Structure 1
Amino acid sequence: MRNIALLRSPFWLSAMKYAVLQLILAVLFAVIGYAAPGHSQGVLDREVTLNIKEKKLEYVLSKIEEQTKVVFVFSPKLIQSHRLVTISKSKEKLSVILDELTGYLNLDYEVVGDKVILKRQHADNASVEPEAAPAFTPVPITGKITNAKGEPLSGVSIVVKDKAGGTSTNANGVFTIDANEGDVLIISIIGFKSREITIGSQHELNISMEEAVAELTTVMVGSRSLRPRTNVESPVPVDVISSKDLLATGQIEPAQQIQFTAPSFVSNRQTIADGTDHIDPASLRGLGPDQVLVLVNGKRRYNTALVNINGTVGKGSVGTDLNSIPASSIERIEVLRDGAASQYGSDAIAGVINVVLKKKTGTQVFTHAGQQYAGDGANLQLGVNHGLKLGKGVLNLTAEIRRREPTNRAGEFLGTVFSNNASQDSALIAQNGGWDRKNNMYIGNSKQLNAYAEANLELPISANTKFYATGMYSFRKGKAAGFYRYPKQTTQVVAQLYPRGFLPYIESEINDHSLLAGIKGKTASAWNWDVSSVYGGNQFRFDVSNSNNASMGVNSPTDFYCGKLAFRQSTTNVDFSKDLGSKLNLSSFNVAIGAEARFDMFKITPGQEESWRNYDPNSGKVGGAQVFPGYQPSNAVDETRSVVSTYVDVESDITEKFLVNVAGRFEHYSDFGNALAGKLALRYKLLDALSIRGAISNGFRAPSIHQYYFNNTSTQFQIVGGSLSPSNTLTVRNNDPIAKALGIPDLKEETSVNYSLGITSKPGRNVSLTIDAYRIDIRNRILLAGPFRRSNPAVGPVLNNAGIPPDVQVVQAFSNIIDTKTQGLDVILSVSPQVGKGNLDLTLAANFNETTIKKVKGTENIPAVPDSLGNYFFFDRAEQSRVELANPKNKISASANYQYNKIGAMIRATRFGAVSSWNINPQLDETYEAKIITDASVSYSVHPRVRVTIGANNLFDVYPDKLKWFRDGKGDKGNIYYSNTSDGRFVYSRNATQFGMNGGYYYISLSANF
């Protein structure tokens, strides 16, 4: 019996050197006569006795040399193959031994004197030089990685040195990777010393990792301690989502990837919402887009220039565009689910999302192609990530292109077209060649073309000092439709230009850029220090096509430049940290101190005159470009503000079981004043496998510079008389005389108090559980007050006195308008049983949350007294429902991911809870019930470095509940009343959406590592 399992080491002898060696030996043997005919057979007749079990070929050859006095000549690469040899022979001829060994090993040999030269053999038995031989197939190496206590470590990165690709451990600490004998495995995880393991004859490895004191800038949100902590050891809940998990979602946009991996995060695409069609508002724990802070490599990321002022989730907020980051550049995403204003600054009321970029060598290629079951919404992605050594440092580069085609889920238009009189309209439709009622609108995803470039550098400049830098640029070209303008809308449509009306488009150009540079190191007294500066910004350009300025008549252009929004931010940080535990006789006592200086810049640039001007105010015709009037010279803004802050963060293991974290932060804003935040977090180990943790903190969110200065006139569809009607809506600055006449007070900061209490447990080596309850009380939340309708006796005179044109029907302004309470529960259970020879990862993750309005703020001029229907003068029921009901109150996800050898399979079911949208008339309120979305995929490694995945998101083609058709109650049956459907055009709600309205999506993707 022969048990053969080959491993090989790298080939160190070049082809030229080997050829020269062969030539020298041949000449030498010929000169001294060893190649005489007949002499070879005498060598091959020599007898050999062997009794060897599972030894390398090199060992076997050495035993033969001892007995026969022959000398083997070979390339080291040739014999260090991936098989072990077992052989038992007694006084057998050398020729028989060699025939048997070389036959199994696909070798040939030649006897020259007392030398036996080993050669590689082709399939046709033609001898070739070893360096021309095909490479050996790598062998699966399995292993288990534990900490010093023998506990398994999940998420450990394992890569083969100087080769692309890699893997990570599951919840049991188990991994499998293809490698050859002599290859070096690099094993690393945050908080432990990296190890390098050289592969020998062992196929199964047991590796113990030693904890390491982390550097100050090791990125792990939630703690600035130099002592690393896992998610079950942290005093606050933190999710760490690897690039592998993000890729497994089948999504290609970072916001959507997080939505299907982090239970407390929701991000849904909006439709018919002006600029918000192009930038998705996101929510953490049911709060607003501007109440979560986004970091990139641990540094503050700038907000967008766009203000969400239309009827969507997050109305009145200014968020951060996660989709401006190339997905191919992301190493992992960390989600801190706890208030962190005292640690990271304003905006971190709901938590922090930290995007960590790749810093490794090798090349990765990602491609994706897919489309909706309905036949539209095709997506194409090509991403390349390449890392190269730069001296002792690393430069990692990313380029990515994404193309998204639009989707359309509009319904059949059932309203009138040419005339408001139904019978007359039917005749006019016939005279004008009929009317296609199914293709009047585009309601769904906007069209987008995205291009990205990113570079991430880390370069040692001395033994204790490193320079680092990150540059990023993205460009997005978008196109989204508005509401159709019908011929009957004579105040908005120039009949000579568009006799059948028109569907206007908002075309966007979005540019993002950022540059980070810093130096970090350690002093002689062991203080870690980090000095960095980051400059970045977002610019949003609006263009309108297929439209008109009705006040210009036939002279109106049909395409318009409508202006730009721009936001830029410069942030400089200085941070110091040191663990003083040894001096205080404590396991750890980490002190972190630092300061930050920030500079915000916001700018509004007017559009061309034709995009905003009313050239004939007395005609009743509406001025400006239909769908999005341009920014006017009176809207122009070029404002700045500065923010300086300082913080202290102390974390200590008081005992082996008791962890305490205390943090405080002071910030000064040049435009509104000072803010102070603090935090206390505790964790106590009840048992080795069970801990309790909790935190209490206060936080703040300063008004964004956008909310101070943004103003414009836009066409918004407001609820008038219970129906959606196009209304020119004026958004005024908070300090505008109109806002003051309506009783809007000066803006001040939002303040919050966060409470959390949870348990963490590892009841078994393959099981982990975290349960965290929380409550977030927020005072003075900043939202858009209104809509104030001109028809109201308290509003009309104010607008008239201010000289506002009569075509403006609605006004709104930013105000600290409500107090809210948010409470909820996060549960994450992970189980990773060994199933056969494969690895199975099971995860159950859930978030339950509820936000309620505790108080609506009145003013001296306008008391907060609701009418009989529950509508406040400046915050009606529709606006209330955006805060309380527009995001799912729960999201539950169960997933299974199985990996065996080359084959992988994933299935995930996500239940999105119910959402609701209210009307100012309670009879028209709607609730959309909970739905379960199922995603599934299978993958196969067609090559050790190439993996193909075929999958489907929303496998069973689930849609949200349709909007209801109400009746007015007149007559025996009543007439159909299309209030919420806008005359049948909307099948699904645009005001509250759980997971979008596009249905099933299938795709194929490929990832390759080189």
Structure 2
Amino acid sequence: MKLIIIGLLAGGSPIAAAVAQDAAPPAGIGRAGANNEIVVTGTRTGERTVTTSPVPIDVLRGDDLRASGYQETSEVLRQLAPSFSFANPTTPDGNTHIHSASLRGLSPDETLVLVNGKRLHGAAWVNTGGTIGKGSTPTDLNQIPAAGIGRIEILRDGASAQYGSDAIAGVINILLRTDTTLHASASAGTTYDGGGDTYEFSLGGGLKLGDDGFVNVTGYYRDHQAANRAQPDTRQFYFGISPSGTPQPLSARYGAGIGLNPPGGTAGSGLDPREATVDCNVWRFADQGDIKDGSMLVNLSKPLGDVELYGFGGYRLSKADSNASFRRPGQDENVRAIYPNGFLPFVDTDSTDYTGALGLRGDLAGWKWDLSSVYGGNRIEYRTRDTLNATLGVSSPTRFYNGRYGNSQWTTDLTLSNRVEAGLAAPIDIAVGAEYRRDGYRIGAGEFASYQYGPARVLDGPNAGAIPTIGSQGFAGIQPSDVVNVHRDAIGAFAEAGLEPVRGWTVDLAGRYEHYSDFGDTWNGQASTRLALPAGFALRGSVGTGFHAPSLAQQYFSSTSSRTIVNNTTGFPEFVLVRTAPVGSPVAQALGAQALKPETSTNFGGGLTYAGGRLTASVDYYHIDIDDRIMLSSNYVDALGSRRLRDYLAAIGIPGVTSVRYFTNAVDTRTQGVDVTAAYATPLGGWGDLKLSAAYNYNQTRLRRIAATPTQITALGITTPLFDVVERTRVERGQPRDKVGSVHRTDPDIR
């Protein structure tokens, strides 16, 4: 029996205790053992270990994952992988469920995620907010709980020539548990200042299927409560009162509600007496909101004569809430008959992930073959509560169904591999294969009341009769004009060869062709090599090309929100539209949008490795140029006092639109960096094993080119660039430039 106890870590990590009966002793000690394990990522052409691979690979074993003290896979990787990072934004949308994680500071959708070597579906959510990964469609790593993982292999190199789209920064391959051991864990944590309570539970085990087969099942549940760090809101809540007794508009200055600043309205206006007694603790600034999620994983294998049947499946349901800004009682967005003291809208989201895979593999005439099919998808539904649609007046509901997004992916692939004698130091390992993939994307509308432009106007106060904000506050419903249901097909073929011309020098070559039904063809290639040196040292390096296909969400995402502005000619408020428009829509085309092209990359890198007994170390440099990166454009709006954009769109049959943005191939970037890793492990006699590791990552991204603002925009007198300084800063400064970490672990053996 091995007992692993994890203490409280800085930053509010959970206190965890786990007891598990190991089926067998570890293959080695810590990373020293991991470095001698066979890896399956980065090659289909033979057996390689971490130390003999020509490209950098990190192996995180299952016991390392569980010893981290975390059960969320993304958090585990952030702690243990030097070039992995993600943010915890607080925006009221899919960010609550899906962390925009990245390798080497690149976009989240420029890293390919595999499960048991098979492509995992991406999220239905598109990051359109002001957070890291804006414009991307990431893959949710947390749909695979750490408790169900046997190990994770992280390929820190471009691999599109082997795996296809998205593998620009690298590949994360999650290998599920294959043991039949009963395992359970529970953890609880909180933050030092209170709040953020988190409770996690996992339970799993397996059965043998005959002599060589198995089935492993793991369940996981998490309950996370928001850590609220909001301070009292000291702005003016209620209408001011003028000397003549007429209601006055609110002041937005902090302190205006408690007498530190003058209230709004005419000189001499006083505060409503209720300001002295109202509860000002009305906000919630939280880490992630309240989240409850549960997931189930199944992994199985069963030999059937000379053929092996294998499969895996997973299901996850995550329920979360997040909040928008507090609406003060006197704001026009409020109906004071419903919320006399204001309201804090909540956005409730349900995210469902599902995946299933089934395959056969075996040997035929000296060739190893593997045929599999994987189907998976994600659905996110939005609801709002404690809110209203002010244009419906006193009849407004306070709960709404706001719509949904869906994404699906079906992949079928066949791989053949063999070893061929060619008179070299070792046989040539070759692999060929083909793949078919069908992608789907859907947007569903919300209920009518969630986006309805109702007949009611501001009922009272200094702005009585004005048009209030339209739709449910916090998250307006998805409109029928934004509904889509689209699909595309992709086929691909690849070939790989691994050879050893002379003893100690290995060379890997790979090439891949893919055809997409929406944008055409891509060709990619890669070459990598490793040269063994005396005394345990080795040189390694690679060069290759890659690509990221524009996702269906990036091509077809559509959002329409409504607001009111004052007409400069009439002086009256009027109803207008704000659009995030698909690139193929008439409004985007009229403003210079073009069909999205795939991002293309050229990468090269090299490094020095050392493996000597208990110590392993590596230093690797990388250089990644990406052309035509897909980003959200700036918001194009008329200059102050101008109507040229509105009038231009109205003249071509698109009335009422005052703000537009769309996806575009906006920039070329260059990313450079260095990864340094070291690990040392030693036995402690009867006291178990001591494992020490440290890692450092330096990463820098710079823009090489910014696409020009379309002439259709500049002709309207709009000077906003296609990609403004805020977005440039997000790309160049949004990710950590330096990251250093270390792990000390002792596994006391009490068998």
For normalisation by structure 1, the TM-score amounts to 0.65
Q: Which has the larger radius of gyration?
A: 1
Amino acid corresponding to residue 706 of structure 2 in structure 1: V
Which residue of structure 2 aligns with residue 402 of structure 1? 222
* Residue correspondences, number: 688
Residue number among 438, 441, 449 corresponding to 2:292 in the alignment:
449
Deviation at 1:329, TM superposition (A): 0.8
- Offset at residue 809 of structure 1 (A): 5.5
Alpha-carbon contact 2:505-2:532 (below 8 Å) kept: yes
Aligned pair 1:596/2:447, yes or no? no
Pairing 1:473–2:292 present: no
Distance 1:850 1:617 in 2: 53
Cα drift, residue 800 of structure 1 = 4.5
Aligned partner letter, 2:703? I
| Map of 1:856 onto structure 2 | 706
In structure 2, the CA distance between the partners of 1:883 and 1:837, relative to structure 1 (3 Å rule), is same
Query: Does residue 700 of structure 2 align to residue 700 of structure 1?
Result: no
Return the alpha-carbon distance in structure 1 between the equivalents of residues 289 and 163 of structure 2. 34
Moved more, 164-173 or 877-886: 164-173
Amino acid aligned to 1:331:
G
Return closer, same or farther for 1:729/1:822 CA change in 2, 3 Å cut-off: farther
Tell me if structure 2 keeps the 8 A contact 1:522–1:529: yes
Counterpart among 827, 846, 853 of residue 696 in structure 2: 846
- Would the aligned equivalents of 2:282 and 2:326 in 1 still touch at CA under 8 Å? no
Cα distance change of structure 1 residues 787 and 343 upon mapping to structure 2, 3 Å threshold: same
- Map 1:314-463 to 2 at 5 A: 314-392=133-211, 393-418=213-238, 419-421=249-251, 422=256, 423-424=262-263, 427-428=270-271, 430-462=273-305
TM-superposed CA distance for 1:229, in Å, is 2.0
Per the alignment, residue 578 of structure 1 pairs with 418
Aligned to 1:521: 362
Is the Cα–Cα contact under 8 Å of residues 190 and 198 in structure 2 kept in the other structure? yes
Cα contact 2:115–2:175 (8 A) shared by 1:
yes
Counterparts of 1:881 and 1:801, CA distance in 2? 36
**Contact between 2:2 and 2:749, CA under 8 Å: does it hold in 1?**
no
Structure 2 contact 317–353 (Cα < 8 Å) conserved: yes
The answer to whether the Cα contact below 8 Å between 2:547 and 2:598 also exists between their aligned partners in 1 is yes
Q: Which one-letter code corresponds to 1:510 in the other structure?
A: S
- Matched position secondary structure for 1:247: helix
Indicate how the Cα distance of structure 1 residues 296 and 460 shifts in structure 2: closer, same or farther if over 3 A, else same: same
Deviation at 1:805, TM superposition (A): 7.5
What is the CA distance between 1:900 and its match in structure 2?
A: 3.9
How does 1:622-633 map onto structure 2 within 5 Å? Answer: 622-633=469-480
Checking the alignment, whether the CA contact within 8 Å between 1:747 and 1:815 is kept in structure 2 is yes
User: 1:821 aligned to 2:640?
Assistant: no
C-alpha change, 1:773 and 1:863, in structure 2 (3 Å) is: farther
Q: Offset at 1:653?
A: 1.4
Describe how 1:624-643 pairs up with structure 2 within 5 A. 624-643=471-490
Look up the equivalent residue of 1:889 and give its one-letter code.
R
Give the deviation of 1:802 after TM superposition. 6.8
1:486-885 counterparts in 2 under 5 A? 486-490=328-332, 492-523=333-364, 525-580=365-420, 582-616=421-455, 619-713=466-560, 729-762=578-611, 764-791=612-639, 793=642, 795-798=645-648, 800-801=650-651, 810-834=659-683, 838=687, 839-861=689-711, 872-885=720-733
Q: In structure 1, how many angstroms separate the alpha carbons of the residues matched to 2:655 and 2:72?
A: 42
Tell me, in whole angstroms, the C-alpha distance in 2 between the residues paired with 1:339 and 1:533. Answer: 24
Distance in 1 between residues matched to 2:272 and 2:602, nearest whole Å: 60
Q: State how far apart, in whole Å, the 2-side matches of 1:822 and 1:594 are.
A: 31
Match of 2:569 in 1: none
> Which digits, 9 at most, give the CA deviation of each residue in 1:220-278, with x for residues without a partner?
2112122x222221111110101111112212210000000001000221102422122
Quote the offset at 1:799 in angstroms. 5.1
Q: Deviations over 1:821-843 (max 9, x none)?
A: 11000000112245575432221
Give the whole-Å Cα distance in 2 for the aligned partners of 1:189 and 1:769. Answer: 13
Question: Are the counterparts in 1 of residues 529 and 540 from structure 2 also a CA contact under 8 Å?
Answer: yes
- Output the CA distance in 2 between the equivalents of 1:449 and 1:165: 35
Distance 1:584 1:275, change over 3 A: same
CA-based RMSD of the aligned residues comes to: 2.8
Deviations along 1:860-909, one digit per CA (max 9) or x if unpaired, are 516899x99xx95222211111111111111101222233444xxxxxxx
The DSSP-based 3-state class of the residue aligned with 1:680 is strand
Deviations 1:600-654 (A, max 9, x none): 0111111100111212498522211111111111111010000000000111111
**Matched residue SS, 1:747:** coil
Q: Which amino acid aligns with 2:370?
A: D
Question: Between the two proteins, what is the percent identity of the paired residues?
Answer: 36
- Shift in alpha-carbon separation, 1:696–1:685, aligned structure 2, 3 A: same
Once the two structures are superposed, what CA deviation does each residue of 1:79-103 show, in whole Å capped at 9, x if it has no partner?
xxxxxxxxxxxxxxxxxxxxxxxxx
Are the counterparts in 1 of residues 591 and 710 from structure 2 also a CA contact under 8 Å? no
CA change 1:674–1:736 in 2 (3 A) is same
Query: Per-residue deviation at 1:551?
Result: 0.9
Q: Distance in 1 between matches of 2:723 and 2:533?
A: 48
Instruction: Report the AA paired with residue 379 of structure 2.
Output: Q
The TM-score normalised by the length of structure 2 is 0.87
Q: Closer, same or farther in 2 for the Cα pair 1:434/1:286, shift >3 Å?
A: same
Identify the range of structure 1 (344-353 vs 445-454) with the bigger mean alpha-carbon deviation.
445-454
Question: Quick one: distance in 2 between partners of 1:759 and 1:139?
Answer: 35
* 1:290 aligned counterpart, secondary structure: helix
Unaligned regions of 5+ residues in structure 1, if any? 1-137, 141-158, 176-187, 192-218, 717-726, 903-943, 945-1010
- Asked if 2 retains the 8 angstrom alpha-carbon contact of 1:357 and 1:456, the reply is yes
Offset of 1:441 from its aligned partner?
2.7
- Residues 736-757 of structure 1, C-alpha deviations (whole Å, 9 max, x = no match): 1221222122211111101111
The code of the aligned residue for 2:410 comes to: S
Report the counterpart of residue 184 of structure 1 in structure 2: none
For the residues of structure 1 that align with 2:600 and 2:107, how far apart are their CA atoms? Answer: 14
1:174 and 1:323 map into 2 onto residues whose CA distance is: 27
| Cα gap change, 1:663 to 1:557, in 2 (>3 Å) | same
Amino acid at match of 1:768: T
- Output one character per residue of 1:474-510: Cα deviation in whole Å (capped at 9) or x when no partner: 11111111111223320x2222111222111110111
For residues 938-974 of structure 1, give each alpha carbon's deviation from its aligned partner in whole angstroms, at most 9, with x where no partner exists: xxxxxx5xxxxxxxxxxxxxxxxxxxxxxxxxxxxxx
Distance 1:854 1:280, change over 3 A: same
Following the alignment from structure 2 to structure 1, what is the Cα–Cα distance between the partners of residues 652 and 733?
A: 36
Which range moves more in the overlay, 547-556 or 373-382?
373-382
Cα pair distance change 1:480/1:389, threshold 3 Å = same
Counterparts of 1:172 and 1:531, CA distance in 2: 32
The answer as to whether partners of 1:365 and 1:384 remain within 8 angstroms in 2 is: yes
1:562 maps to amino acid: N
Deviation at 1:516, TM superposition (A): 0.1
Q: 1:805 to 1:771 in 2, by over 3 A?
A: same
Distance across 1 between alignment mates of 2:666 and 2:92? 23
SS in 2 for 1:706: helix
Residues 1:248 and 2:67 aligned together: yes
- Could you say if the C-alpha distance between residues 804 and 323 of structure 1 is closer, same or farther in structure 2, counting changes exceeding 3 Å? farther
- The change in CA–CA distance for 1:236 and 1:800 in structure 2 (over 3 A counts) is same
